[in-house]
Amino acid sequence: MSSLHTWAGLLLGWVLYAMFLTGTVSYFKDELSQWMRPELPRLSQIPDQAVVAQRVAVELGNIAPGTSQWSIRLPDERNNSVYAFWRTAPRNPGQRGFGEGNFDPATGQRVASRDTLGGEFFYRFHFQFHYMPVVWGRWLAGAAAMFMLVAIVSGVITHKKIFVDFFTFRWGKRQRSWLDAHNSLSVFGLPFHFMITYTGLVTLMALYMPWGEQAAFKTPAERQQLSAELSAFIQPGKPSGQKMPLASVADMVRQALERWGRDNVGRVTVVHPGDAAARVSVARGEAGRVSMSPQYMEFDGATGKLLMVRESVGPAAETRGVLYALHLGRFSDTEMRWLYFLVSFMGTAMVGTGLVMWTVKRRQKLPDPERPYFGFRLVERLNIASIAGLSIAMTAFLWANRLLPHPLESRADWEVHAFFIVWVLTLLHALVRPARSAWAEQLSAASALLFLLPLLNAFTTQRPLWQSLFEGDRVFAGIDMMCWALALLHAVLAIRTARQGAISQPALKPKRQAPIAVTSREGAG
């Protein structure tokens, strides 16, 4: 069982680490998006959602006339721009085409800021990666999540005594900090790790397990029954062909605001705008309820009349809604979001320490430490690039955001290319340099890049840290200071790695006794 745990964790461990780290960061993706669009002023208060909705609706009518569907996410506490997408003619037959953009809530026009994906890049990477068809990425994420689930369950079974001796988790006197760290991180975050893994699978369960749906529903109408339980999206039916202007979206949103409270409208979706058969759904915001099950008001698009209100779904659908909400954590206020972030960060560290622990344990058993076997070398180098290298790459993404000129053709894409180019470079570095130096060098590089980022920000934008602090701009100040906190963390890790590298060489002989103590303890546990 402990080998199952090791292999389940190791085989896709690097993928899992990347998912965990990008997922952790994604809890603040909206804040990151704000930071990456410094030209957009922060909103000292949330604008009237009804007015904003109307503005953007009008603009979308200009940009995308004749589209069959558009959808906008209104500004809230964490978002100072409106994100919208709309259906377009598909680029390839059989695919769906859509356009997207960010809009200024004050003017309704597209934001006049640098072209960037913002925090959305990390969020999307987290479950569908990049440079591959979306479905493949999601399957890879799902496979990794299943491996993680098995690793968690087998980990608990291997340490059955966890629940009996929660605090007496003891380790040999000579074991290294990585082992202590992996064990303690796994144990105290266990409820979270299990929850986040299972709920992660639930978010894409329709992709992973479509069989029940396929067996039960034969017609599109029947399938609609199911989708209605899952989201507030109205399927675009046939347009009537008769042109009628869209009724006042502002009025519809106002009715929703009355129902659900101030600033609590999340999304407005319209099918067939400008047609007599238009329908508008105004969905509730995500704050304050731990569920993503659809709650929305449906209006006749041409007349503005309220057609129906949907506020509950069946028990299984509600369960799925709750599990989905638990994973995304969008219901959180600031304190809860920080809790999510911290515990998720611990989860990331758990995966990372697990990967490192594998090499630490195996190194002690190597017949010749100077010439390890291929598998060991592979794991060792991948660890460096996937862990330390990822920190460098993610920071490079932010550096690219500040340094790339704007306007620039496909600027948003180039920020992403920068991320991957740097990541590949870290892999090359890890392959070329001796392992111990590579760790220390990459961690130091990450630390330096993180430390310099707020300074770069001060020099390249109008929003330096001292101004953010003075104005009480929590987003900008928070991110700048978080960079420094992370820089410190990486510096500490770099120093420890460098020091351990210096000590462990002569100490290799005595440490050989430690594995026996380790394995016998694991065997007993």
Partner 1 sequence: MNHLLPFALSLSGFTALAFAVRRQQRDVIGRPLRPTTTYVLRLAGACALLLALGILVAEKGWSIGLVLFSGHTSIAAGIVLCALIGQARMVR
Partner 2 sequence: MSFLIHRVRSTGPLISRIVAALFGGYALAALSSVAVLALPLSKPQAVLTGMLASFAIYAGAVIWVFAVRSALKAWAGLLIVAVPLLPLALSVS
**Restricting to residues 221-280, which ones interact with partner 2 according to CB under 8 A?**
222, 225-226, 229
Rounded Cα–Cα distance for residues 354 and 452 (Å): 30
Closer residue to partner 2 (CB): 216 or 336: 216
Least distance (Å) from partner 1 to the CB of residue 230?
19
> Does the N-terminal peptide bond of residue 407 adopt cis geometry, omega within 30 degrees of 0?
yes
Residue number, 34 or 154, with CB nearest to partner 2: 154
Q: How far is the CB of 222 from partner 2 (least distance, A)?
A: 8
Cβ-based nearer residue to partner 2, 148 or 443: 148
Rounded distance, CA 213 to CA 222, Å?
A: 10
Residue 311 is a binding residue for partner 2 (CB under 8 A)? no
With b for 16 or more beta-carbon neighbours within 10 A and e for fewer, the 417-437 pattern comes to: ebbeebbeebbebbeebebbe
Of the pair 98, 217, the CB lying nearest partner 2 is at 217
Binder of partner 2 out of 212, 245, 288, 369 (CB under 8 A): 212
Between the two ends of the chain, the Cα-to-Cα distance in Å is: 11
When binding is defined by CB under 8 A, the residue of 141, 202, 382, 388 that contacts partner 2 is 202
- Segments of 257-408 assigned E as strands: 265-271, 279-284, 296-300, 306-310
Q: Interface residues for partner 2 in 156-185 (CB under 8 A)?
A: 157
Q: Coil, helix or strand for 291?
A: coil
Q: Which residues contact partner 1 (rule: CB under 8 A)?
A: 165-170, 173, 180, 184-185, 187-189, 191-192, 195, 288-291, 322, 326, 331, 335-336, 339-340, 342-343, 346
DSSP 183-252: HHHHHHTHHHHHHHHHHHHHHTHHHH--HHHHHH--SHHHHHHHHHHH--PPPP----S-B-PPP-HHHH
- In the complex, the smallest distance separating the C-beta of residue 154 from partner 2, rounded to whole angstroms, is 6
Q: How many residues bind partner 2 (CB under 8 A)?
A: 32
Which of 161/365 has CB closer to partner 1? Answer: 161
Q: Compute and round to an integer the Cα radius of gyration of the chain.
A: 26
Q: Which of 315, 407, 434, 506 binds partner 2 (CB under 8 A)?
A: 315
317 binds partner 2 per the rule CB under 8 A: yes
Give the CA distances from residue 372 to residues 137, 353, 510, 513, in Å, rounded to whole numbers and listed in that order. Answer: 33, 20, 19, 19
Closest by Cα among 325, 331, 328, 310 to 228: 310
Binding-site partner at residue 165 among partner 1, partner 2, none, CB < 5 to 8 Å by type: partner 1
Which residue ranges make up the site for partner 2 (CB under 8 A)?
1, 4, 146, 149-150, 153-154, 157, 198, 201-202, 205-206, 208-209, 211-213, 215-217, 222, 225-226, 229, 314-317, 319-320, 323
